[in-house]
Structure 1
Amino acid sequence: MDFRDGDAVICYPQGCPMRFKYQCDPFYTMWNTHFPAHVSADVTSLHLGKRLLEYNGELRRPVYGTTEMSAHHSKAQLWRLSMPSLADMDPELALFLREHQQSPHRDSRTARTAPVVAVGNQQQPDDTAAVTMDCTFSLRRNNFWTCSVDDDNNSLVVGCDTGAYMLTSTFNILGRATARTAVLASSCIPDRPGLAWLGCRDSEVKMFDPRIHSKQNLRFKHSSLAIAHLKALDSYRVLAIDVGESLAIWDMRFMANNKRNRPLRRLKGHVNTAGTRIACDVNQTKQLLALAGNDHCVRLWSLNDSLCSSTVNSNQNLPFWESQKFGDGPVQAVQFIDDPPPMASAWEQLPAMSDDRQNRAPGLVVAAPVDANSSSSTSSSGIHWLTL
């Protein structure tokens, strides 16, 4: 899933991204906008474009994603969809959402309001003309595992079984990097256009600079397990997480090829056993890491540190907050919302709500199962909103 500027895209199984709108003020809620898109295979990565693009005089929001090979599709695919920008909420919808807003419940560990919005399987309308497939990129005998988009510089990096490609936003090739094993994670480096980090199945983390040969790029071993997630924290630091329980912050200013490098910090307390798709997000403004374990709990770490790992207290490497268990299934995704969309003008026509019904950002969105009802053992997907 991905949330941005009041738009949200959530990907259901068998390649069905669905579009929602959301608000944080005067309370958090989501509603289906009925713009489904079918990509015919399981989605391995998803990114909602930061900027609206103009097509034939119409503003549209791009959605980037990758799908894997299947029995029915011999090619994995990188694709870009675009969806029309929607009009502001009307008073009728605002009144409906207010009347059906669930009362917030309290997390006994945090006492923070945490309303749950059910987003189970939605009925799909017949009209899908509003969604267009802008462009695609595919390779034979290769799976696409990761995609990192640099919206500010109109470029992206996609990782596959044999390495990675750097492309323009219209999928023209800018460069290629080879790798001994599949590239499972990637992250474009902020303020350094044309550079990215790659994380491989053999636990190697390497710099991707298309201007030089792959063997000359900086590389190091994170652990002995495959890399599951990478996030460039700034121009020099990168957070690496493997499929086990190892997560660490590395700084390229203190590393060199062919040497035994040490990370700035090794964070502790993550619970995972061979999970390749982990729910993870970083809030760059507040320097926070949200990470879900396979015990169905979400934990928060502080990423604020000094330049020397020896000066960081060991307690700072542990999570400072831990959620209760989310249902009986895994947490599919987590995402910080630090810059919420402005409140729709329709709310100005309705009476003001009491303070205890308001759930403004910053907040954390968690996609995880919720109990269908107290008398049933089944569960459905839901969006949990936690205020920070």
Structure 2
Amino acid sequence: MKIQIKTKLLLDGLVKVKETLDKSTKFPICTMIKFHVTKKGLILTTDNTVNSTEHIIKTKDQELEVFDIGSVMIPPLIIDIIKKMGSGVCITVSDHPNEESTDQRLINLQSVDTKIKTEINMQGISAVEFPKFISKKGKPLLTLESSHFIAILSKTVFAASTDESTPIFTGVHIKQNDGELIFSTTNRHRLARASYKTDSLVEFGNGMVVSAEPLSKISKLINSNKVDLYNVDNRLIIQSGDTTYTTTLLEGTYPNIDRIIPVNEDYKASFLIHRTELLASLEMQFILKGDSSKGGITIMKTNPEGSIELTSDDTSLAAGRGEIFINEFYGDEMSVSINTKYFIEALKAYQSKMVRVVLTGDLGPILINPEDLNGDVQLILPYRSSKQTK
């Protein structure tokens, strides 16, 4: 196997696939990157047995030149090496001179940048035992504009649980209902839901649950105009340009979170507030908390005169008080204890100038919706506070 390639082009592909490298040593071959060269180009693949990525670099514009085809597994150390090889590199793979090392390969990396004279030799192994990359079949389940796909993920993935003892809650529930694609997450203390209008006629029953962690990483790597989603052999396949991501679906039944979301008759108080003003005040409360590992507790109190008051529940380090004017207030004067970190993340999920906050009781769910009420929902369950009960 022998190729010559622009380092920028190769690094772009390596960055896309490195997220699904296996961090354990249970399957050593999965801790490496597969380089597969054909006459049409270079295919980079990683697989950690749950998630996998494949990126294709095609021979075009003399940025990639193929001399000999073949496959090899190369340690991820190559990523840092390539960064120091100048504008281009020649990669040559040959058999190990020791005839007993039948699985070993010798990899020679040589800079072709006239300003840099660098040559590196490293060891790789045969790619024969590497897992076969799953192939998409038929038409995609859904095709979405990349900007919408990234936006709907940014509004939901952060609210999924990180507790592996309840794996179903670590996922994003994706379902289709009445022409809407709905993404939902919850960790039992907060909930996020975002929707997207779709013309797709494909139905997929009660939906699917996909681990939030790989979706979060994937959303930051997409740079194509659209994404195609496939469901093949209990895996979600996401096709974005020359990059394909796959992730194993989570098993189990996702809870019916619609029954948790309050309806109008449950509302006890509601108001419109400037999102950035509320965000800044909560971030100050978060800073004053000091130990922010649990998010901190902020007391939110509504005033009939048209404002809300924010105070810290824990003043062991510093105390702060903020008052923010609100619009369209109606309902009762109330005081609720909120997880500051959760509320901040909910506000950051939106871009609207104003948000509507709905209170349903001292210990009832709190809704945070964008001003245009487009179907997106952020919900937080309040806490019982020592200050609140005094």
Fold match, TM over 0.5?
no
Whose helix proportion is higher, 1 or 2? 2
* TM-score for both structures, normalised by structure 1: 0.19
Larger radius of gyration between Structure 1 and Structure 2 = 2
